[in-house]
């Protein structure tokens, strides 16, 4: 595993950006690369456990088409990245605090705990950082 790690800071709740983050994370993780994802801001809403399927992903010019054509589900892609590769998913404690949520409010079998921005940015100095 010689590639530099990939760090993805996912903030947007826009479907297109969440989908691209999931694609980058899963493909990167299965390509012998360590991938770290930090979910914050509006993106966290797409990971709520009880969110109805029809409202989980919204926004972006191709969102409706992606759902109509049944492109791979973003959360399933993140899960595949964890199962088949080296993908770590963290959630921002600030955004969880303002919602009053704990990890059990989020979809199962995806998140590995909390990481603050300072720690994430510090670790990302050793890799490639992408913000969506």
Partner 1 sequence: MSERKVVDARDSFCPGPLMELIANIRLIEVGSELELLSKDKGSAEEVPAWLTKVGHQHISTEKRGDHWSIVVKRVK
Query: Which of 71/98 has CB closer to partner 1?
Result: 71
**What is the CB-side half-sphere exposure of residue 20 using CA atoms within 13 A?**
16
Binder of partner 1 out of 17, 21, 26, 89 (CB under 8 A)? 26
Binder of partner 1 out of 32, 97, 108, 109 (CB under 8 A)? 32
Q: Check binding of 70 to partner 1 (CB under 8 A).
A: yes
Count of residues touching partner 1 (by CB under 8 A): 13
Q: Check binding of 69 to partner 1 (CB under 8 A).
A: yes
Long-range contacts of 109-113 (CB under 8 A, 24+ apart): 109/79, 109/82, 110/47, 110/75, 110/78, 110/79, 110/82, 111/39, 111/47, 112/88
Q: Check binding of 109 to partner 1 (CB under 8 A).
A: no
Q: Check binding of 30 to partner 1 (CB under 8 A).
A: yes
Query: Which of 80/115 has CB closer to partner 1?
Result: 80
Binder of partner 1 out of 16, 27, 48, 63 (CB under 8 A)? 27
Which residues of the chain form contacts with partner 1 (CB under 8 A)?
Answer: 23, 26-27, 30-32, 69-72, 77, 80, 84
């Amino acid at each position: 595993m010689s590639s530099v790690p990939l760090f993805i800071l996912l903030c947007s709740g826009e479907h297109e950006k969440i989908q691209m983050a999931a694609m980058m994370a899963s493909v990167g993780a299965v390509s012998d690369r360590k991938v770290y994802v930090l979910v914050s801001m509006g993106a966290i809403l797409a990971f709520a456990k009880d969110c109805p399927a029809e409202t989980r992903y919204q926004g972006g010019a191709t969102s409706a088409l992606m759902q109509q054509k049944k492109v791979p589900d973003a959360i399933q892609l993140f899960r595949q990245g964890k199962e088949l590769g080296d993908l770590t998913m963290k959630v921002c404690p600030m955004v969880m605090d303002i919602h009053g949520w704990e990890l059990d409010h989020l979809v199962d079998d995806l998140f590995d705990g909390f990481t603050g921005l300072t720690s994430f940015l510090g670790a990302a100095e050793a890799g490639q950082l992408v913000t969506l």
